[in-house]
Structures are given as structure tokens and as C-alpha cells.
């Protein structure tokens, strides 16, 4: 078994240096998952409702009223939009690496505001806006940084780290709330909030050891620094000089033939197709119900009579975390299209199943029915973790052209969060009105996602970013992407990487034989 693992592309390509970079750069996603989960979990707790809400006669318990749920959740998403809007300027002018430090600063300020909101619900809301502004930055700079550093063969696994840390943060947030669910003392509340400091502290501590991305340095004409960055990422024996030369030629070719510098250029020519794909997958991810699961699933299960909804939420997210680990392998092995299509298929079936089972509103469900609903929610989150969870960040990081990568990621992230804002504002009212049938709405969007993937989403695995430029500019059809043979500079960059892979593999085999002797 270990021999087969050693023969895998992931094992051969993923050095300890790349693991370190992928993990620490992706910590911004952990803040997103944690904040969503502690908030969604706390909304369903009576002590939290007593602290910030009012007595609910219908539920005979303390609860956060729908308008406060809507404001607290929706304004957080609005904060993300702020972060998304400033991200392209920061990434282009400061660089990818310094933007990570700005992101950490936003998170620290927001967490302090949340932690000191002892009695003021609206200070808590302001803190969430600031935290989510940092998260908006993360959703742009992290996939960009990862896609520009990762080798083509494991780019899917490298960008999956963003989704993994998001889900891990969600699991940690749910678990901490579950363990501190009394929420009656200020210490319990502070414990939940201050756990988020792990994220910015981790980013700040790792910052001195993170390189700037080679492609950003080439885009800015800093070729000597780009060579050093490539050797830092791929090892001292890597032919960095030749790769920098090829990247330089490719950048000059793109600037001459396809000059593009503004957001409006994302909607012109072949770039429009790339923008539709990048925005479409993000919009459909949110529309399929991930905001509903992260923010409202505890209140949803509580309304339907589940005995311990927070415990069930921990189980659901834990299973999703395991699926995220598996997706490190599957996205580069199976490909983007198959993962996204079949993921949407199962997610549609599970959401529609939950909606149909709980369609009778607030009628208390039998234990057997509750277990069935939990099983379907677990399967939904598992297939989300195998497909749309990591998939949108992989595609967002690789689908845009080099000249417009900052702007494409801006539009992609805005598509996601502009969709999540109305969902977060409206869902509490819809859920209060139609109960379990809310899940059917999200299931129907998964059906739409299947159609989108089949007709519009090309296969991009094992391609360098420069090869993707060539294929989009040649207007290769969606279902011809997989077998298309590139002949331009992008193909030469991929061949150089593959040649270096073979050389490194032979070196390891020689070292293994010498050690055996």
C-alpha cells in the first residue's frame, strides 16, 4: 500500500515546503468556517438567545428574533463584499504576500470587537463585518497565491487546502460551541470568540517564511526574485531560469495579443466565458445551500423538534471534514467535471429528500425520521466536501488569465457573496414560514448546477495556467478540453515541469537504492 502511495503524483510532487505553504496560507479560510459555525450554532442556543434576544412564545424559549438573525448574518456577508472590492488593488500593488498580512490585521480587529461585545448585539454585528472583510480578502488572495505557486499536476490538491481549512474551522467552531453550550458565563463566550485568534496569529507567525508568488514577480519584471522564489518552492536543482524565461515570453505574448487590464475586460472576448465559469460555480455553490447549512441548520433542526441539534451539527460537519481530506486526492485524479456533476446530483437528492420528509412544518418528527434526515444531511455535506466545497476555489484560482486573475477572482468572490447576502437575510423568514420545505428550494438549485457543469464547465486538471490561456483563446469547446493538445508556450512550461519531475524521481530512486545498499 505504501509503495502505491509513493508512486502517486501527489506524493512525488508535494514537498514539505509546499505542504507548509499550502497549510498556512489557507488559514484565512479557517476563520470563515469558524465564524460561520460558532454563529450558526449559538443562534440555536437558549442562553445566547437570552443574552442578545427575547422570549419566543411560539417556541416557549429564549431566541434571537428573525430580524436580528437576518441582520447579524447578512451584514457579515456584506463585510465580505468590502474585502473583495479592495482585494484586487492590494494584490496588484502590494503583492500577494503582503495582502495576507493585511487580511490578518482585519481579522484581529474584528475578533477583538466580537470578544468585547459583552451585552451589545450591534457591536457584535460590527465585529462580524470587520472579520468578514478579512475573509473577503482571503477568498481572493489565498486561491490566487496557491494557484500561482502550485505545480499543474497537484494544483487541485493544493487549492483544496482552502476548502479543508474552511471545513476544519467550521468543525472547530461547532465543537467549541457544543462544549461551551451553557453560554451563561462571559468566559464561555470569550472562549468561543478568542479561538478565532488561532487564524491571524498563525498567518502572522508564518509570514516571514512565505515567498512571493513567482508569477506575480514575473508580471512585475522582477525576474531574479522570481528565480529565487521558484527554487524556494520546487527545490534548488529546479531549472528556474528556463521557467522564468518561458513565463516572461508568455506574459509578453499575452500583453501584445490580448491586452487586458480592467474589470470590464473580464466581459470581453474569450474572457467572458472564463468569467461566467468563475462566477457561475461560486453562485451555484451558495444557491445549493451551504449558507443554510453553516448558519441556520441548528435553528432548522430545533424548529423541527430535534432533541440535540448542536450534536447532530457536529456529526454533519465532521463527516464533511473527512470528505475534504479525500478530495485532496480525487480532484487531481478524477478531474473537475466529474466531481462537480455527480456532487450536484447527490446534493440535489439529499436536499429534496430532507425537504420532502420535513414538509409538515413544525410537527415533531419521530426518532426514526430524525435519524433519516441526519443521514441525508451527512451525505449532503460529504458530497459537498468532495465536490463543490473545494471545487469552486480550485476553479476560481485557475480559470482566470494572468492579466486579469485579480479581477476574475474579485468577480468570482462577489458572485458567491452577493448570492449569500440575500440568502442570509431572507432564509430566517422563509424558514419560519415554510419550515422543512426550505430544503427543497436548495435542492432545485443543485439540479441547475448539474446543467451548468455539463454544458459550461471544461476539464482543467493537469494543465498549466498558461495552457489554459491558449485553450480559452482558441475557443476550445467544453467537452474537447480534456483531449486537446497544446502547442504554445504553455505546453513548453508544462513539459519543463514534467521533465523536472522525472529528474527528481530518478534522483530519489538512486538515493533509495544507495540507502538499501
pLDDT in tens, the chain (517 residues): 455 555 555 656 677 888 888 888 888 888 777 877 777 667 666 667 677 767 766 666 677 776 777 777 767 777 888 888 899 899 989 999 999 999 999 999 988 888 787 677 788 888 888 988 998 898 889 888 988 888 877 787 778 888 888 888 878 877 777 776 654 555 556 666 677 788 899 899 999 999 999 989 998 889 999 999 989 888 888 888 888 888 888 888 777 766 667 788 889 888 999 999 999 999 999 899 887 877 777 777 777 677 777 777 788 888 888 888 888 888 888 889 999 999 999 999 999 998 888 776 555 667 787 788 888 888 998 899 899 988 888 888 888 887 788 888 888 888 887 887 778 778 777 777 777 788 899 999 999 999 999 999 999 888 888 888 889 988 999 989 988 888 877 777 777 766 655 455 444 444 443 444 4
Question: SS3 of 183, please?
Answer: coil
The cell numbers describing 463, all together, are 494543465
Question: SS3 of 358, please?
Answer: coil
Q: pLDDT value at position 188?
A: 59
**CATH homologous superfamily of 17-214+259-486:** MFS general substrate transporter like domains (1.20.1250.20)
Q: pLDDT value at position 511?
A: 46
- How far is the C-alpha of 291 from the C-alpha of 297, rounded, in Å? 9
Q: pLDDT value at position 283?
A: 93
Q: Residue 411: in which H helix or E strand, if any? A: helix 405-434
Reported pTM: 0.75
Q: Is 235 left (phi over 0), alpha (psi -120 to 50) or beta?
A: left
Give yes or no for a contact between 91 and 99, defined as CB atoms under 8 angstroms apart.
yes
Q: pLDDT value at position 7?
A: 55
Diameter of the chain by CA atoms? 78
Give yes or no for a contact between 313 and 402, defined as CB atoms under 8 angstroms apart.
no
Q: pLDDT value at position 516?
A: 42
- Residue-by-residue DSSP string for 430-486: HHHHHGGGHHHHHHHHHHHHHHHHHHH----TT--HHHHHHHHHTT--GGGTTT---
- How far is the C-alpha of 457 from the C-alpha of 481, rounded, in Å? 10
Locate the domains of the chain by residue range: 17-214+259-486
Query: For residue 456, what are the contacts with CB-CB under 8 A and spacing of at least 6?
Result: 276, 277, 280, 478
How many H-runs (helices) and E-runs (strands) does the chain carry?
Answer: 25, 2
The cell numbers describing 305, all together, are 423538534
- How far is the C-alpha of 152 from the C-alpha of 248, rounded, in Å? 18
Residue with cell 474589470: 263
Give yes or no for a contact between 37 and 171, defined as CB atoms under 8 angstroms apart.
yes
Q: Summarize the chain as % helix, strand, coil (round to 5).
A: 80, 0, 20
Residue with cell 507567525: 205
Q: pLDDT value at position 10?
A: 60
- How far is the C-alpha of 404 from the C-alpha of 98, rounded, in Å? 19
Count of CA atoms in the C-beta half-sphere (13 A) of 445: 19
Give yes or no for a contact between 393 and 163, defined as CB atoms under 8 angstroms apart.
yes
The cell numbers describing 393, all together, are 476555489
Angle in degrees, 0-180, between the axes of helices 388-399 and 271-287, rounded to the nearest 10: 160
Amino acid at each position: 500500500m505504501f509503495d502505491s502511495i509513493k508512486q502517486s503524483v501527489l506524493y512525488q510532487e508535494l514537498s514539505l515546503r509546499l505542504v507548509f505553504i499550502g497549510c498556512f496560507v489557507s488559514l484565512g479560510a479557517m476563520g470563515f468556517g469558524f465564524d460561520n459555525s460558532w454563529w450558526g450554532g449559538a443562534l440555536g442556543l437558549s442562553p445566547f438567545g437570552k443574552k442578545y434576544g427575547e422570549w419566543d412564545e411560539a417556541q416557549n424559549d429564549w431566541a434571537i428574533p428573525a430580524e436580528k438573525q437576518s441582520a447579524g448574518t447578512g451584514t457579515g456577508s456584506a463585510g465580505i463584499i468590502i474585502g473583495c472590492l479592495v482585494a484586487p488593488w492590494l494584490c496588484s500593488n502590494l503583492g500577494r504576500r503582503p495582502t495576507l498580512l493585511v487580511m490578518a490585521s482585519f481579522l484581529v480587529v474584528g475578533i477583538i470587537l466580537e470578544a468585547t461585545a459583552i451585552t451589545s448585539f450591534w457591536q457584535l454585528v460590527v465585529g462580524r463585518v470587520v472579520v468578514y472583510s478579512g475573509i473577503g480578502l482571503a477568498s481572493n488572495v489565498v486561491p490566487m497565491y496557491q494557484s500561482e505557486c502550485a505545480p499543474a499536476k497537484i494544483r487541485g490538491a493544493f487549492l483544496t487546502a482552502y476548502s479543508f481549512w474552511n471545513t476544519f474551522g467550521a468543525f472547530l467552531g461547532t465543537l467549541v460551541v457544543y462544549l461551551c453550550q451553557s453560554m451563561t458565563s462571559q468566559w464561555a463566550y470569550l472562549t468561543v470568540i478568542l479561538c478565532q485568534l488561532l487564524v491571524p496569529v498563525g498567518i502572522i507567525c508564518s509570514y516571514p517564511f512565505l515567498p512571493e508568488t513567482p508569477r506575480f514577480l514575473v508580471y512585475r519584471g522582477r525576474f531574479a526574485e522570481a528565480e529565487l522564489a521558484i527554487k524556494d518552492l520546487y527545490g534548488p536543482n529546479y531549472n528556474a531560469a528556463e521557467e522564468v524565461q518561458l513565463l516572461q515570453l508568455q506574459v509578453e505574448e499575452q500583453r501584445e495579443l490580448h491586452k487586458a487590464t480592467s474589470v470590464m475586460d473580464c466581459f470581453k472576448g474569450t474572457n467572458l466565458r472564463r468569467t461566467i465559469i468563475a462566477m457561475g460555480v461560486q453562485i451555484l455553490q451558495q444557491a445549493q445551500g451551504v449558507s443554510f447549512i453553516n448558519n441556520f441548520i441548528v435553528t432548522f433542526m430545533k424548529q423541527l423538534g430535534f432533541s440535540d441539534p448542536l450534536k447532530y451539527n457536529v456529526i454533519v460537519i465532521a463527516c464533511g471534514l473527512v470528505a475534504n481530506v479525500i478530495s485532496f486526492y480525487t480532484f487531481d485524479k478524477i478531474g473537475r467535471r466529474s466531481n462537480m456533476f455527480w456532487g450536484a446530483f447527490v446534493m440535489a437528492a439529499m436536499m429534496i429528500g430532507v425537504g420532502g420528509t420535513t414538509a409538515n412544518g413544525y410537527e415533531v418528527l419521530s426518532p426514526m425520521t430524525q435519524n433519516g434526515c441526519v443521514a441525508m444531511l451527512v451525505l449532503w455535506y460529504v458530497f459537498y466536501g468532495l465536490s463543490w466545497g473545494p471545487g469552486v476555489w480550485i476553479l476560481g484560482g485557475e480559470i482566470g488569465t494572468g492579466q486579469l486573475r485579480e479581477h476574475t477572482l474579485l468577480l468570482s468572490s462577489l458572485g458567491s457573496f452577493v448570492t449569500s447576502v440575500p440568502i442570509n437575510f431572507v432564509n430566517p423568514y422563509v424558514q419560519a414560514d415554510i419550515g422543512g420545505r426550505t430544503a427543497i428550494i436548495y435542492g432545485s438549485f443543485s439540479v441547475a448546477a448539474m446543467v451548468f457543469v455539463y454544458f459550461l464547465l471544461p476539464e482543467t486538471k493537469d494543465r498549466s495556467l498558461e495552457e489554459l490561456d491558449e485553450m480559452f483563446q482558441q475557443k476550445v469547446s467544453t467537452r474537447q478540453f480534456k483531449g486537446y493538445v497544446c502547442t504554445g508556450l504553455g505546453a513548453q512550461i508544462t513539459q519543463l515541469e514534467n521533465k523536472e519531475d522525472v529528474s527528481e524521481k530518478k534522483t530519489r530512486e538512486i538515493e533509495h537504492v544507495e540507502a538499501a545498499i
